[in-house]
A and B are shown apart, each in its own frame.
Chain A
Amino acid sequence: MVNGKFNHEQKQSMVTSLTAAVAGFLVLVLIALSFFILVRGGSFFWPQSIQTIIFQQSNGSYQTQYVKLDAKTMRVGEEIMHYRFSSAQQLFSGQLTLKQSSIISAEISPDVAIIELNNGGTVIAKVASINDATGNTLGMQAFEAVQGNIVKLIASTELIRKGELADIHRALASLDRRGVKADAPARVKLSKRFYELQDSLEEVEQELAGFTLNVAFADGSIYPLNMREISDVSFPNSMGLTDKMLSALSAFAAFISDSPKLNNTSGGVFPALFGTIVMVLLMTIFVTPFGVLAAVYLHEYAPRNKMTALIRISVNNLAGVPSIVYGVFGLGFFVYVVGANIDKLLFSDDLPAATFGAPGIFWASLTMAILTLPVVIVATEEGLRRVPQSLRDGSYALGATQAETIFKMILPIASPGIMTGVILAIARGAGEVAPLMLIGAVKFAPALPIDAEFPFVHLQRQFMHLGVLIYDGAFHSQNIGNGSSFIFACCMLLLLMVLSLNLIAIFIRNRLRKQYAQN
């Protein structure tokens, strides 16, 4: 008597509650996911306090260190702390793993600094003094003046190197080619000037090397850091909330504009961000016309028979093919067959060094275009289906051919549907990692796919990708700490990137919708 238990209204409200509960759960999951990624990723940028801890070593003696907490873990009922510290031997890779019970005291002293180096490393120490080139000792207040001095000196050396010195090099080289005697006056004059410049450069270099920042570690030892290696000194323990926010913002700006440092565990991710965006845009450029034309044929021209139905089913099933299969296809077909033949035909001078016969961003985006093709086709067909027959009739009645009707009337009206397909394709393409690792995404790429060097767009180049960077980071640093918050920061960035690409596409779609609204 289940049916008799509840009346009609109760049944109604039960169905409502059930669906609402499921929707609510979904919202919770979404919030949890973005919150987790944002918090863990954001903490990469947030300046963390430096503790001064005294702890008991395994041999019973006591030691003091300035440390930064990386992570806490639980093991056999006891908390294990993972710390990072600096010492003269391990300037920025010192790691301490301590049981909670072995820590005697922990305090936060305001004058401990975090010194960031140009190579991406950070040194945790107190700042003692600054030495200038002549050996004078200056106080910390001179820091900015000294840094300004160094920037000027470096700029002057760069000017000499790239300006006059390069000219002389070129002149000397051309003299050589013409077979000018070694003691010809012009050559001697140039050589003399060359050595003069070399000497002055060396002088400046020496002066630069003289500037040092002396830092003191917790054990009292002093270590001189070369000033020109230092990018920033900050005191997180004495920062207010505003300072911390500003510092986090500038850290984020550096993160998206710098190159990775120290084996992709520090520094920025600009090449990966750039590579991801270029790959996604190229993919969109390839997939949109392909998908739209295929959908136009399937929906407008193809006869309604079993063959067309079969093709449509196959297209839908293509969306379900595992992405790694596309990766293998891209490598096996595009790179080894198409690319190798392009090399044979067009770049035979460079062989055996491959140009297009090697994984690169062109093949990667082409493979991703094939991967996302079904999405675009299905969405476009849906858009075409929504164009009412009356509008088609109206167009035909005005003397339009089928092609004119499709391109001047139907496609513009279906364009919001096409944009939906593009949005889904972008979302799928930007997040894909597995196929990319086979066809061009690498851990570190020395050059960007688009740069100032002729012909500016280098589609044969390998590229860096945020997803691959995350995979690589997660795979290579199973130990907690080192690099793990870097991975979360990458995740956050990837999420933000996909979100903003989608927002742009949605914005365009809404404009198209408004333009081609039907009643």
Chain B
Amino acid sequence: MLKLFEHDKLDVNNLTPEQTAIEVRKLNLHFGEKQVLEDINMLIPKNQVTALIGQSGCGKSSLISCFNRMNDLLHGCEVSGQVLISGNDIYHRKQNVATLRTRVGMVFQKPNPFPMSVFENVAYGLKLQGVQQRRKLDDAVEQALRETGLWKEVRDRLFESALTLSGGQQQRMVIARALALKPEILLLDEPTSALDPLATLHIEELLNQLKMQHTVIIVTHNMQQAARVSDYTAFIHEGKIIEYSDSDSLFTMPKRKQTESYITGRYG
């Protein structure tokens, strides 16, 4: 409860450009006829953990998919508005999507290790960037695995198949795989929903360390988790941001009725 007495929380509606990692302006997203996101405007603070909460199908996963343009892969998906990262609109037609995704890493709900060795998995992104030198790869892999606290567990089996790891280890390896590229922003789409409590704890601890170097955005169903790990929280309902503020205020003194109903479990 120490957090309650911290008063260095930023006002998410008035961030300076230096404090901002992502600026979303008038973002609308359609899947064919269906409008999934409606007029989203938000500023996401740098080097903080921001959580997106809301019911299933409310559009929170679609929103973080906009941040690294994973939505492009889906048929019939149309985006309008702007998403600015370091001042550049990522939906600009000159934006290279592959480069964007190296800067904005993403981790999915279910661990998706590639059927290769642990080393190959973590080095996959770097090799795509043209890093061939064995030394550089070795160092980067070790560093990424250390960052996720996995190094001690897997250093003797780096060249064994990644599928032999446990679910929690796999998910941390997937995070390490994204971290190897040194992204500014890390998107996590319900990263612990397929994991057991202990593995979840590991990941939550990890998120706290990660925010030193990266901006972390996490989508979660689990409100306790959002309250535990995040500095800021946005509540999304039916494609709109209902309330967005620092987590302590949002979970203790929600300003909107809908938010209160949701966090107290009256619906959703």
> Which residues of A are at the interface with B, using a C-beta cutoff of 8 A?
304, 388, 390-401, 404, 408-409, 413, 515-519
Contact = CB atoms under 8 A, between A and B. Distances in A.
Q: 5 tightest CB-CB pairs across the interface, nearest first?
A: A399-B102, A398-B125, A390-B112, A397-B106, A394-B112
A394 B101 contact: no
Nearest to A303: B75
Given A393-B108, A397-B70, A518 B174 contact: no
B115 A413 contact: yes
A413 B106 CA distance: 22
Contacts of A516: 115
Contacts of A398: 101-102, 105, 124-125, 128, 177-178, 181
19 contacts: A393-B73, A393-B108, A394-B108, A394-B177, A395-B124, A396-B73, A397-B68, A397-B101, A397-B106, A397-B178, A398-B105, A399-B100, A399-B181, A400-B98, A400-B128, A408-B124, A517-B115, A518-B163, A519-B163
B110 interface: yes
Contacts, number: 68
Given A393-B73, A398-B105, A398-B128, 5 more contacts: A390-B108, A397-B101, A397-B106, A408-B124, A515-B115
Interface residues of B, number: 28
B224 interface: no
A409 B120 CA distance: 11
B112 A393 contact: yes
B128 A399 contact: yes
A149 B107 CA distance: 81
Interface in B83-125: 98-102, 105-108, 110, 112, 114-115, 124-125
A452 to B, nearest CB: 41
Given A390-B110, A413-B115, A516-B115, A397 B105 contact: yes
A409 B114 contact: yes
Interface of B: 68, 70, 73, 75, 98-102, 105-108, 110, 112, 114-115, 124-125, 127-129, 161, 163, 174, 177-178, 181
B112 to A, nearest CB: 4
A404 B129 CA distance: 11
Contacts of A400: 98, 124-125, 128
Contacts of B128: 398-400, 404, 408
A413 B102 CA distance: 23
Contacts of B114: 391, 394-395, 409
A207 B101 CA distance: 87
Task: Report which residue of A388, A396, A397 has the largest number of chain B beta carbons within 10 angstroms of its beta carbon.
Answer: A397
Nearest to B69: A396
A413 B110 CA distance: 19
Contact of A401 (B98, B105, B178): B98
B163 A517 contact: yes
Contact of B174 (A388, A392, A394, A413): A394
A416 to B, nearest CB: 11
A399 B125 contact: yes
A50 to B, nearest CB: 63
Contact of B101 (A392, A399, A408, A517): A399
Contacts of B70: 393, 396-397
Task: Report which residue of A396, A399, A413 has the largest number of chain B beta carbons within 10 angstroms of its beta carbon.
Answer: A399
A396 B74 CA distance: 12
Contact of A518 (B100, B115, B178): B115
A401 B128 CA distance: 9
A477 B107 CA distance: 71
B102 to A, nearest CB: 4
B180 to A, nearest CB: 9
Contact of B112 (A391, A408, A413, A515): A391
A332 to B, nearest CB: 43
Contacts of B127: 408
Contacts of A515: 115
Contacts of A388: 112
